[in-house]
Amino acid sequence: VRLAMTRVPGVALDHYLEQQRSLRQQEASAPSQPGLRRRRLAEAFQTACELVLQLTPVLGHIGRVAYHRDVNSHNILVDVGAPGERPLFGGVG
């Protein structure tokens, strides 16, 4: 069975996380700021919570109609939107 899919805008989750890591490393070379480490940790937890909250219904819906054996960070897309907005996560078949 062959499926044709429309190109969906977004960045693969693994690439998004790598970009975020690079940005954090650049920030680390900047002068120390009080509470920076705590703020980064809070942002990481918030992103993880958003990921779970947004993907759980998607994967639940897909699971009713299809079996996806390859859910990984490369086929989860992130729509980063405007600067300062929270990222939107979505699954790709």
pLDDT in tens, 13-63: 889 888 888 887 777 676 777 788 888 888 888 888 888 888 888 778 777
Minimal CA–CA distance to 76: which of 14, 5, 4? 14
* Entry field: residues in the chain: 93
Alpha carbon separation from 27 to 21, 22, 58, 81 (Å, rounded): 10, 9, 34, 21
User: Per-residue b/e over 12-25, b at no fewer than 16 CB within 10 Å?
Assistant: bbeebeeebeeeee
Q: Is the pLDDT of residue 3 over 70?
A: no
> What does pTM read for this prediction?
0.65
Contact 77, 90 (CB under 8 A): yes
